[in-house]
Structure 1
Amino acid sequence: MTHTSLADALKTQANAHRYVTAGFTERTGLGWHQPTPAGANAGGALSVVIPARNTAYALPTVLDALGAQQHAADVEVILVDDASADTTFEIARRHPVVTTAVRLAQQRGSGTARNAGARLAQAPTILFVDADMVLPSHVLADVAARAEADTVLTGFRHNVTHQVSPCGEPVLPKGPPLLSADHRVTWTPPTGKVLPYSGITLTDELNGRPLDATDDFQTLGYGRSYYDWDLPRMVVTALLAVPREQLVTVGGFDEEFGALGWGMEDTHLGATLIASGCLVVPLRQAVGFHLDPPDAASQWQTKLATWPATLARYRHLLSLPAPTARSNAFAAAADKHLIDAEVYTR
């Protein structure tokens, strides 16, 4: 039997989501990209899953921001500590916003941590949030009001250089996070160099606008690209909402990426969810401050050194059949990690 590869399956999937955004506005009277009033999503449910490793420098500020969210949704917060060497787990265990704190027995990578959190999640929508992302107070309401069974909702990030106040807290910029700070919105690629993801080389300077130029990612359907960007690459788990049933069906995150190094596990998840029929829809108002660690430069170099290996893994997975019916395998793999984990439930 011939199976369609994941790469070929992507070529069959459109991303025409205008009916979703227009339908939301017609039902609610709210603009799709408008911050959501707290009472607009009564009855919704979210499982916020936070993978964390050595993020004590940012985590109290991140969790305080979650505690300050203005929403009417039923929300649980699950933090999975990937065997940190600092006080990450103790911070999570003591913070009142965290309903479940998990500490994995061994470091496995962020994909494994997210899978473990998703295994414990009860809501139909899982919102993945990085442990260094500080969210404006409307973001949970934005997601809860707009989530559907076949949509992947992606937010954006505004990177903030590490700086602390006299009392040791991270210093945030004045004003709200800027959408334009995200590379998927404003992108200035190098010229005369091979771009490793797509393999293309740009000869002319480009003032790239991926989000605007693709009509909110719609024209990236059917496997098309905007220079170095395709639809799976727009799926970034720093702030990402996915339907839990679809996530489980495709098998969650491929955990091999964590063994190889950094990157591409969220792109691969995006590819599998798109191939399964999900639409990727941006939320322009959902932008968080992404707090750099104290040693950001050295961490970034370490991450980039492993990217060729994770990119090769991704390309290999694109050549295999699109994953389906993986629910049992997902549960078994996640349970294997959870059985040895320390779990604290409030």
Structure 2
Amino acid sequence: MVRRSAIPPGLGVGVTTLHQELLHRNNFHTSSTRSWEAVSGIGWHEPTPSGLPLAAVRTLSVVIPAHNVGYCLSSVLDALEGQHHRYRFEVIVVDDASTDTTAAVAAVHPIVTTVLRIPERAGAATARNLGTALARGQTVLYLDGDMVLPPHVITDFTARATDTTVLVGFRHNLPYDLHQGGRGVLADHPHLAADHRVVWRPPVGRPLLYTGITLDKRFDGRPLDDTHDFLDLGYGRRYVDWDLPRMVVTALVAVPRTAVLNVGGFDPEFGRIGWGMEDTYLGACLIASGLLVIPLRQAVGFHLDPPDADQQWQRKLASWPGTLARYWDLMRRPAPTSRSRSFTADMTDLLRSCEVLR
């Protein structure tokens, strides 16, 4: 079921495109994971003990884009404060013009290092870019403002992060009112199988979102297992509707900051169009620049759905055709590189319009 991606219409004429660059990139990460296991003495997918000696741990910045998540942000930040990590890490919250208590919650929480408020709604891509520009850590962990993490997760990422890897975590969607008291006390451990990249049952008889493929019979998919932890998704190969860039979901993902700057960060146009694909595009850019995408099965957080989750999902789906078209347009262009200077200049200009609350 793993296959090479078809080239979208219009690709492959004249110049080497981002899509074509992906066809030359493997995802052979086995040597990286086995080397780490040999040095650390624990499994790649095992929760990292809080007392494990880590001689070369990288500095970390957690960047949280936040829009109207006042209902759950305290839980997210409480969980970060409760991490077993032995080293200091910074937490940057970028409030994307929220109309609720989001900014106020972030401004007073003790775990938060920096709070920035964008005056007008710009989208999660811009919010993450601003947080990345402010970050001082070697590794940036992008975390959604509604993701509650178990206590070992920060160490799981920092212990394994390198300059050449994108480390992917997973999410377990849960209605907020089922989360005990909304205080970061988990009723149960989040389950890996709750993520669609792990257990996937696509619709039958309807075009799939990403590729437009229509399945004529039920398919019980196991993307993570069937691709051997994404190993088999190199060289542009695809698992039905999934490919390697689409596995890079910024609900919970750790990347080397210098690599993000080099490709110019997230494309802010996605936020202006609607929902989705800005993380997939960043993933494609990072893969094209030579980074490997490696999952961490033990890094699963609770994604707390808002009370109006169904309505929000319908609004997101309505904007999907526009963001998908933008994605394929960018894939027809050359892979971005050497953009650190222009990225920094753009973010410096944008920061002048933002309010620093902390």
CA contact (8 A) 1:162 1:291 kept: yes
The match for 1:312 is 325
Superposed, 1:322-333 pairs within 5 Å as 322-333=335-346
Secondary structure at the aligned position of 1:56 is classed as coil
Work out whether 1:233 is the aligned partner of 2:246: yes
Secondary structure at the aligned position of 1:283 is classed as strand
Select which of 144, 148, 155 maps to 1:130: 144
Q: CA deviation at 1:170?
A: 6.7
Secondary structure at the aligned position of 1:48 is classed as strand
CA contact (8 A) 2:74 2:183 kept: no
Superposed, 1:282-297 pairs within 5 Å as 282-297=295-310
Quote the Cα distance in structure 2 between the aligned partners of 1:275 and 1:255: 19
Superposed, 1:168-247 pairs within 5 Å as 169=182, 174-247=187-260
Counterpart residue identity of residue 19, structure 2: A
The match for 2:114 is 100
Structure 1 residues 37 and 149: alpha-carbon distance in aligned structure 2, compared to 1, 3 A threshold: same
Structure 1 residues 173 and 144: alpha-carbon distance in aligned structure 2, compared to 1, 3 A threshold: closer
The match for 1:26 is 38
5+ residue gaps, structure 1, are none
Secondary structure at the aligned position of 2:89 is classed as strand
Q: CA deviation at 1:111?
A: 0.4
The match for 1:55 is 69
Alpha-carbon deviations, 1:83-123, whole Å to 9, x = none?
Answer: 10011111101000000011112110000000000000001
Quote the Cα distance in structure 2 between the aligned partners of 1:2 and 1:308: 27
Secondary structure at the aligned position of 2:187 is classed as coil
Counterpart residue identity of residue 196, structure 2: H
* Structure-1-length-normalised TM-score: 0.96
5+ residue gaps, structure 2, are 1-12
CA contact (8 A) 1:44 1:74 kept: no
CA contact (8 A) 1:57 1:170 kept: no
Quote the Cα distance in structure 2 between the aligned partners of 1:96 and 1:74: 13
Alpha-carbon deviations, 1:62-86, whole Å to 9, x = none?
Answer: 0000000001233000000001001
Secondary structure at the aligned position of 2:205 is classed as coil
Alpha-carbon deviations, 1:146-190, whole Å to 9, x = none?
Answer: 000010000000000231789x63797632000000000000001
The match for 1:338 is 351
Counterpart residue identity of residue 49, structure 2: P
The match for 2:80 is 66
Quote the Cα distance in structure 1 between the aligned partners of 2:103 and 2:345: 24
Secondary structure at the aligned position of 1:38 is classed as coil
CA-based RMSD: 1.6
The match for 1:5 is 17
The match for 2:7 is none
Counterpart residue identity of residue 130, structure 2: A
Q: CA deviation at 1:201?
A: 1.2
Count of equivalent residues:
344
Select which of 174, 181, 192 maps to 1:160: 174
Quote the Cα distance in structure 2 between the aligned partners of 1:120 and 1:61: 24
CA contact (8 A) 1:164 1:171 kept: no
Select which of 107, 110, 121 maps to 2:124: 110
Q: CA deviation at 1:44?
A: 3.1
Q: CA deviation at 1:196?
A: 2.9
Q: CA deviation at 1:230?
A: 0.2
The match for 1:88 is 102
Q: CA deviation at 1:283?
A: 0.3
Which deviates the most, 173-182 or 290-299?
173-182
Secondary structure at the aligned position of 2:202 is classed as coil
Counterpart residue identity of residue 142, structure 2: F
